[in-house]
């Protein structure tokens, strides 16, 4: 499905990003895993190569433009093209709003929102001359729910949805598709650290599908948004939460 495509996935050393990288590699793409933890991303890329896939890794802090630029340049020099960008890297520490520091607010915006300003501005110059490209931004179902202690996170993830809409309008004339996914509660390493098990149980009961969702559930929708199967769609959000909310 992704033969000859070059894909870049941020935050891919573990969790949802790693699931996306695995599925894309299994679907024939050459995948680059960008992550704060370079050795862990390389370990993941090596596992893909060991089973016959094509993958590489870059240590990269998505909130630091120069590290994103170094990775994008390296990939473009090697392949002469970039077809798919998955903006997945994100953090989600919880904090009551009145106790939130300015530094915590800024860090959240830098990693979860401003990062996609950097990645898109650096990758699009490669997609525009190709007259093709697929960008998928990972937001969150929390944007529709507004849970407590996540004001900084939900503000950033709402920004991701708004950004997706504007960028899709500006990129339509270049045949570049920009879409978004809002995952629900997905079982990942990060979620295990940040979520309360009782809350997860409650969410599972409220989902139409009473089961845990895994990175593969998000990766499959990401694959759809990265192939010609979704060529008629841009500027949209797909909510993947097991039927938790409906909008
Ligand atoms: P995760 O398990 O914590 O994995 C996130 C990965 O991103 C980690 O490898 C992490 O590296 C990396 N990362 C963090 N900050 C980075 C930075 N500045 N630059 C580059 N890489 C960075 O998270 P996840 O649960 O898979 O979540 C992935 C995305 O889905 C996030 O955007 C999150 O907001 C969104 N999401 C998740 C859920 C869920 O239930 N899991 C629900 C809705 C939305 P380190 O470990 O080295 O920090």
Number of Cβ atoms within 10 Å of the Cβ of 231: 11
pLDDT digits (tens, 9 = 90+) for 154-197: 999 999 999 999 999 999 999 999 999 999 999 999 988 888 89
Q: Which atom of ligand 1 is nearest to the CA of 187?
A: 41
Long-range Cβ contacts of 38-42 (<8 Å, 24+ apart): 40/13, 40/14, 41/12, 41/13
Q: Which atom of ligand 1 is nearest to the CA of 16?
A: 26
- Strand 30-35 with 54-59, pairing: parallel
pLDDT digits (tens, 9 = 90+) for 43-88: 999 999 999 999 999 999 999 999 999 999 999 999 999 999 999 9
Q: Are 43 and 120 in contact (CB under 8 A)?
A: no
User: For this structure, is 153 an active site residue?
Assistant: yes
Distance CA 233, CA 202 (A): 33
- With a Cβ cut-off of 6 Å, ligand 1 is lined by 10-11, 13-17, 35-37, 60-63, 88-92, 111, 138, 140, 183, 185-186, 188-191
- Stretch 6-13: mean pLDDT: 98
pLDDT digits (tens, 9 = 90+) for 108-154: 999 999 999 999 999 999 999 999 999 999 999 999 999 999 999 99
pLDDT digits (tens, 9 = 90+) for 195-246: 889 999 999 999 999 999 999 999 999 999 999 999 999 999 999 999 999 9
- Class of the domain covering 6-240: alpha beta
Instruction: Give the model's pLDDT for residue 194.
Output: 80
Instruction: Give the model's pLDDT for residue 99.
Output: 98
Strand partners, 183: 240
**Residue 138 CA, ligand 1 centroid: distance in Å:** 10
Residue spans of the domains in the chain: they are 6-240
Question: Per-residue pLDDT for 247 more than 90?
Answer: no
State the pTM of this model: 0.98
Q: How far, rounded to the nearest angstrom, does the alpha carbon of residue 123 sit from its chain's CA centroid? A: 15
Tell the residue nearest (CA) to atom 41 of ligand 1.
Answer: 186
């Amino acid at each position: 499905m992704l033969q000859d495509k070059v894909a870049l996935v941020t935050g891919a050393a573990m969790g949802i990003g790693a699931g996306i990288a695995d599925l894309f590699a299994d679907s024939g793409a050459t995948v680059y895993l960008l992550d704060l933890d370079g050795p862990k991303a390389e370990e993941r890329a090596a596992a893909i190569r060991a089973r016959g896939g094509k993958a590489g890794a870059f240590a990269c802090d998505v909130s630091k433009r120069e590290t994103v630029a170094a990775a994008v340049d390296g990939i473009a020099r090697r392949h002469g093209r970039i077809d798919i960008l998955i903006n997945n890297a994100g953090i989600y520490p919880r904090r009551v709003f009145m106790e939130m520091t300015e530094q915590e607010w800024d860090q959240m915006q830098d990693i979860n929102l401003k990062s996609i300003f950097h990645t898109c501005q650096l990758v699009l110059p490669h997609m525009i001359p190709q007259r093709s490209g697929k960008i998928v931004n990972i937001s969150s179902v929390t944007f529709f729910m507004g849970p407590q202690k996540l004001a900084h996170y939900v503000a950033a993830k709402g920004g991701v949805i708004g950004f997706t809409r504007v960028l899709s309008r500006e990129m339509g004339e270049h045949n570049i598709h920009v879409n978004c996914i809002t995952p629900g509660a997905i079982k990942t390493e990060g979620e295990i650290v940040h979520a309360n098990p009782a809350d997860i149980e409650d969410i599972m009961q409220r989902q139409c599908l009473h089961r845990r969702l895994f990175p593969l559930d998000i990766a499959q929708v990401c694959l759809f948004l990265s192939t010609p199967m979704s060529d008629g769609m841009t500027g949209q959000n797909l909510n993947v939460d097991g039927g938790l909310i409906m909008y």
